[in-house]
């Protein structure tokens, strides 16, 4: 229809143009959020071209998580200043979400790379390898704590990684000091850790010393890990090596990819020194 030379669109035409169904327009009109510019004596709704931009803004705000009630409040009290305030707020929210998505993408890339590498490992091999210095973020000390305290530490550590955005996609590992290993307390860890390949400033990181490590893979859960340590110690003796300050353990295959504990794989990296002749 035409009214004073203004081109109006029917509900169906306007809905098609805005890529929504007619019921959405009926509902918006019913709650007073967005109404047609004109209704005739038979109750037919007609929208003008200049309403399209307003509908797109409403749709944008809804997609960005703004409630219909909050949008309605703005519609009832429009102003350039309020519009700018909402736009700046939504832009800030989008920037934060983008950063979160980019962080998650990096975590996924790391997990893909680690798992692809793991698929080609010889899990029965013992290696003497040179490991570079690594930056690690540590939990609080966990030596000689109870099982209940251990659960609390793990929970706190995971929460820290989330809040401080320090989850890098690398597995959470455990550090055992020399004295615990010598006593056969292989799972009496001193700290939990996660590698930080791109460390942020302002955090109390631990720098693992680069050098020689004797590394091997334990298949199974911790109840049988002493057998793998025995194999590693035998190889140390054969190679005329002594135990260094730390041992690092981290999962290669865990509950994420294996259903049964006997199929878990843990990499054990023992810092070693050459015996003086």
- What's the CATH number where 148 sits? 3.20.80.10
- Which of 20, 12, 14, 7 has its CA nearest to residue 52? 14
Does pLDDT of 109 surpass 70? yes
| Boundary (domain end) residue, out of 78, 97, 112 | 78
Average pLDDT over residues 154-181: 95
187 pLDDT band (50/70/90 cuts)? Answer: very high
**Structural domain contains residue 116:** no
Quick count: other Cβ atoms within 10 Å of Cβ 113?
Answer: 11
Q: Could you list the residue range(s) of the whole structural domain that residue 246 is in?
A: 121-274
Q: Is 177 found in the same domain as 53?
A: no
- The number of angstroms, rounded, from the C-alpha of 28 to the middle of its chain's C-alpha atoms is 37
List, for residues 201-231, the tens digit of each pLDDT value. 999 899 987 899 999 999 999 999 999 999 9
Alpha helices (H) in the chain, listed in sequence order: 11-18, 22-30, 52-63, 68-76, 80-118, 147-163, 178-182, 225-238
Does pLDDT of 1 surpass 70? no
pLDDT of res. 209: 78
Q: Is 54 found in the same domain as 128?
A: no
Does pLDDT of 232 surpass 90? yes
Using a pLDDT cut of 90, give the percent of the chain over it.
90
Does pLDDT of 117 surpass 60? yes
| Boundary (domain end) residue, out of 48, 63, 78 | 78
Number of domains observed in the structure of the chain: 2
- Here the CATH number for the domain that contains residue 17 is 1.10.1660.10
**Structural domain contains residue 104:** no
**Structural domain contains residue 197:** yes
**Structural domain contains residue 100:** no
Q: Is 161 found in the same domain as 233?
A: yes
**Structural domain contains residue 92:** no
More confident: 153 or 42 = 153
Residue 207 corresponds to which tokens in the numbers above?
Answer: 């720098």
Query: Cα dihedral sign for 49, 54, 57, 58?
Result: negative
Does pLDDT of 195 surpass 90? yes
Alpha helices (H) in 168-266, listed in sequence order: 178-182, 225-238
The reported pTM is 0.78
């Amino acid at each position: 229809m035409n009214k004073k030379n203004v081109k109006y669109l029917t509900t169906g035409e306007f809905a098609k143009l805005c890529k929504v169904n007619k019921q959405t327009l009926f509902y918006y009109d019913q709650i007073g959020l967005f109404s047609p510019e004109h209704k005739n004596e038979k109750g037919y709704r007609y929208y003008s071209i200049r309403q399209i931009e307003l509908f797109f803004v409403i749709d944008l705000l809804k997609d960005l998580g703004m409630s219909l009630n909050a949008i309605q409040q703005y519609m009832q009290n429009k102003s350039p200043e309020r519009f700018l305030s909402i736009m700046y707020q939504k832009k800030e929210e989008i920037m934060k979400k983008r950063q979160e998505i980019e962080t998650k993408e990096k975590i996924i890339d790391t997990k893909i790379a680690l798992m692809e590498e793991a698929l080609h490992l010889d899990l029965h091999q013992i290696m003497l390898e040179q490991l570079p210095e690594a930056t690690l973020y540590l939990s609080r000390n966990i030596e000689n704590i109870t099982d209940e305290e251990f659960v609390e530490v793990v929970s706190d550590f995971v929460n820290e990684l989330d809040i401080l955005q320090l989850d890098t996609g690398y597995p959470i590992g455990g550090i055992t000091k020399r004295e615990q290993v010598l006593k056969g307390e292989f799972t009496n860890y001193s700290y939990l850790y996660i590698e930080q390949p791109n460390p942020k400033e302002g955090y109390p990181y631990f720098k693992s010393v680069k050098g020689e490590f004797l590394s091997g893979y334990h298949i199974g859960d911790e109840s049988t890990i002493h057998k793998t340590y025995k194999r590693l110690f035998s190889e140390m003796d054969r190679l005329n090596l002594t135990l260094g300050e730390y041992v690092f353990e981290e999962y290669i295959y865990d509950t994420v990819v294996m259903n049964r504990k006997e199929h878990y794989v843990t990499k054990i990296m023992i810092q070693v020194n050459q015996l003086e002749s």
